[in-house]
Structure 1
């Protein structure tokens, strides 16, 4: 991976195409540690949780269905031309809606 930009992390961790990540950003469907990000080039750190909001839960509108990536570690590649990043991926996770920045279906 070239850098710890949130768009690179989502692309590598969830296998989502770069143009789809851009669409998700403009639809305000990306959160880092529960907060909206100001730009798609936002840098994440070890321990950060990156959520991609799929939809409001059909069972309870106070919950969201998300895909989540947790950045576990990063180190420089032995060749010196990038980073080796370890992540934990949750393809489908149901969480409470964000208290400081609620997400509503439009």
Structure 2
């Protein structure tokens, strides 16, 4: 079970209790768990305007869809990515630096495309 230690309270902070991880930790063998899979479509690059700017906002594991999008935009060799001339901003909110997912990948893209 993941907990958040509050240095000011010098105790676990129950206000920072994760919904999904704690739900899974509280399940017992034999419990029914209803899950849904990914729905929707792949985030497509708008090929009609290669100068489109993107603003992406995520918290915690919500960064996952943007990882694929950033890879399509800056890492993979696709006609749309090769033509892209806009700017992309990614804002990620996490409780602390230990919670930064895929940070090495994002920093690599940022250093290769600083503008």
**Structure with greater helix percent:** 2
TM-score by length of 2: 0.22
Higher share in strand: 1
* Larger Cα-atom Rg: 2
TM-score by length of 1: 0.23
